[in-house]
Amino acid sequence: MGIKVDLKKQYNDTAHSGKKSVKKSFTLDVSFEMENELVVLFGPSGSGKTTLFKCISGITDLDKGKITVENKVYFDKDQKINLPIQKRNLGYVFQNYTLFPHMSVRKNIECGLKGWEKEAKEERVLEMLNLLHIEELETRYPSQLSGGQKQRVALARALAPKPEILLLDEPFSALDLEIRTELAEKIKDLQAKIGIPVLFITHNLEEAFHLADKILILYEGKAQQFGAPEKIFYHPENLHVAELVGISNIFDDAYVEKHDEESKCTVLKSGDLSLRIKTQKFKPGDKVSWGIHPENITLLLPDYSSENQDENIYFVRINDIINKGPKKRITLTLVRCNKTLIAEVPAQFVDSLKLHAGDICLAKLEMTKVVVFHKS
């Protein structure tokens, strides 16, 4: 059950997909398996997310590989199977909705119900209108709908023919925050209710972590990492993933010094800095990169004294404080080794401690939150 994708697609010249043009010799090389769950595809633009959707749906032909959805083979190079788009039975919501502008909402939804009995068809349309709470839009035309309404109609149309898999290409990119959050909830509910695999493309990190059962990270056409959001967030496997999940403090000059059996942690040496981490998966001598999410750096007053000698606490100088609404972004320099860190700290905290640029304080890098991966 579920979906199995293992595909390869090479573009040798400039191929245009929508507004974007994919540069020369781009290779899409992705392989993953998923159950009836919600998987978010996450990656920068041009990383091949939409191309992957076009391959799964059959809009773009593949060079190599195999795509299976619910035991139905969509594509298999070896067996020379290439199911036509019409037979794939998938729901696809395009980035710009692609509602048929000359058809009413009802006609749009009916379009996918080819060959249904008249009564069954009417019933299904009503069911879809109810499901997405858009009963009152039935007779309207796409030009008379707001962005959020268009999105709902596009979803209703995609789900009406009972697809076996749903592909959503940045469905919320043009919507404002309020509707975004509401629709995200809706999609999560729908996935649980209908119980089909849903693939969801987004550029928005928060959305990705909020919605996903699993996240697939794409970078330059290649799948970088696939797993649960927490796993991706705290255990990125390489630099691309670490950067994509917003870890801005990354240093690649470290190596593993030793395992400390007593405290069950590993000691890294990064320049003059000693750093303790919780994982045991690296061998002494391994060259590694490490990083920490700006939100996982805690600032402490210089007179703070810890009972635990193993913690990563360092003297830092505050270089700069930028106001970012509820948070402040603080640039720090480690006093001992001249490394620069970026921390994001609740504004209230900074105000109450009366921190200013030039001050010296302590920064704590939570051992469990330090991210380490093999140097690429």
Partner 1 sequence: MNKIIPKIKDMIIMLDKVWFPLSLTLWVATISSVLVLCTGVIIAYVFARHDFRGKELAELLVTLPLVLPPTVIGYLLVILVGRNGLLGHLIYDFFGTGIMFTWQAAVIAAYTVSLPLMVRAAQAAIEAVDKELEYAAYILGRSEIETALLITFPLAKRGILAGLVLSFARAVGEFGATLMLAGNIPGKTNTMSISIYSAFQAGNDELAQALVLILIFISLLAISLTGRFVGKLEA
Q: How far is the CB of 144 from partner 1 (least distance, A)?
A: 14
The C-alpha atoms of residue 218 and residue 230 are separated, in whole angstroms, by: 17
Sign of CA dihedral 98, 102, 104, 109: negative
Q: Is the CB of 96 or the CB of 173 nearer to partner 1?
A: 96
Residues that bind partner 1 (CB under 8 A): 18, 57, 59, 85-86, 88-92, 94, 96, 98, 100-102, 111-112, 114, 157, 161
Q: How far is the CB of 145 from partner 1 (least distance, A)?
A: 16
- Give me the amino acid identity at 271: G
Q: How far is the CB of 130 from partner 1 (least distance, A)?
A: 20
Nearest to 83 by CA among 171, 169, 164: 164
Q: Is the CB of 164 or the CB of 359 nearer to partner 1?
A: 164
Q: Is the CB of 162 or the CB of 374 nearer to partner 1?
A: 162
Q: How far is the CB of 365 from partner 1 (least distance, A)?
A: 47
Q: How far is the CB of 98 from partner 1 (least distance, A)?
A: 4
Give the Cα-Cα-Cα angle 358, 361, 363 (nearest 5 degrees): 120
Q: How far is the CB of 86 from partner 1 (least distance, A)?
A: 5
| Burial class of residue 103, CB neighbours in 10 A (0-12, 13-18, 19+) | middle
- The pairing of beta strand 360-365 with beta strand 297-300: antiparallel
Q: Is the CB of 64 or the CB of 162 nearer to partner 1?
A: 162
Sign of CA dihedral 349, 350, 355, 361: positive
**Cα dihedral value 7, 9, 15, 17, nearest 10:** 0
